[in-house]
Structure 1
Amino acid sequence: MNKLEMTDLIVSTRLEKGLSWETIGKDTGMSPVWLTSACLGMNSAPPEKAAAIAEYLGLGEEVAKALEAFPTKIWDQAVPTDPLIYRLYEVVGVYGETLKEVIQEKFGDGIMSAIDFSMEVDKIEDPKGDRVLLTLNGKFLPYKSW
């Protein structure tokens, strides 16, 4: 089973069972953001987490093995067309240089890891319209000279 087949099966099973990513994450003791990313094929899961996800959803060993497989992270489009994903792309396009400047002013020359990383998505209720709070938490990795 490849990552695409795995994702299709996981998503259809989740919908058939009426489960949210939040519920699956809570019930399995995993971050719903990380869990969703693994189930959509963008991260590999350690064997124990892969087995827990497959077991929770009532899916077999093939799904667990596909969850464990190392992904190839490829985007289909240069500029995304889904409105929500495009807005995140737009944020990076508009504020990317600003974020780079501010991060490097505070930390020095380097990058924020997307490997030693966590992300949370929260809802902030607001009378003028609910707000989305994204928290990106990555280890700072300084560039080294040799």
Structure 2
Amino acid sequence: MDKLEMRHTLLAAKARKKMSWDDIATAVNMSPVWVASACYGMNSASHEVAHKLCDVLGVEAEAAEALQAFPTKAWDEAIPQDPFIYRLYEVVGVYGETLKDVVQEKFGDGIMSAIDFTMEVDKVEDPKGDRVLLTLSGKFLPYKSW
């Protein structure tokens, strides 16, 4: 089973079991964002987590092997059409250089790691309309000179 077939298998099982990412993450003792990313094929899981995840979703061990495979982190570079994903794309397009500049003023010349990284998604209730709170936390990696 490759990552794409694994993705379809796991997402179908999630829908069939009517489980949320929070439900699955609690069952495997991992972050819901990370679990979703692994199920979408963008991260690899340890042997233990892969098998727990497959047990929770009631899928064959073949999917656990695909979950453990190292991913190729590639995506369609076309402008996304889904409104939610497009808005994130727009945020990076509009604020990307600004964020880079502000981070480099605070930390120096470098980047935020997407390897040593965590992300949380929270709902903030607001009488004017609920808010989405995304918290991205990546280790700062300075560029080195040699």
Q: Shorter chain as normaliser: what TM range?
A: over 0.9
- For 1:12, the aligned partner's letter is A
Matches within 5 A, 1:30-109: 30-109=30-109
2:8 counterpart residue number? 8
- For 1:35, the aligned partner's letter is V
In 2: Cα distance, 1:77 partner to 1:97 partner: 19
Give the CA deviation at 1:71.
0.9
How many residue pairs get matched?
A: 146
Give the CA deviation at 1:93.
0.4
Give the CA deviation at 1:118.
0.2
In 2: Cα distance, 1:77 partner to 1:140 partner: 25
Q: Secondary structure at the match of 2:42?
A: coil
In 2: Cα distance, 1:29 partner to 1:72 partner: 25
Q: Secondary structure at the match of 2:79?
A: coil
Give the CA deviation at 1:49.
1.1
Unaligned stretches of 5+ residues in structure 1:
none
In 1: Cα distance, 2:30 partner to 2:128 partner: 32
- State the identity as a percent: 67
In 2: Cα distance, 1:122 partner to 1:112 partner: 21
Q: Secondary structure at the match of 1:119?
A: strand
* RMSD over aligned Cα atoms: 0.8
In 2: Cα distance, 1:55 partner to 1:12 partner: 14
1:138 counterpart residue number? 138
In 1: Cα distance, 2:111 partner to 2:2 partner: 32
Runs (4 or more) in structure 1 with deviation over 2 Å come to none
In 1: Cα distance, 2:78 partner to 2:72 partner: 16
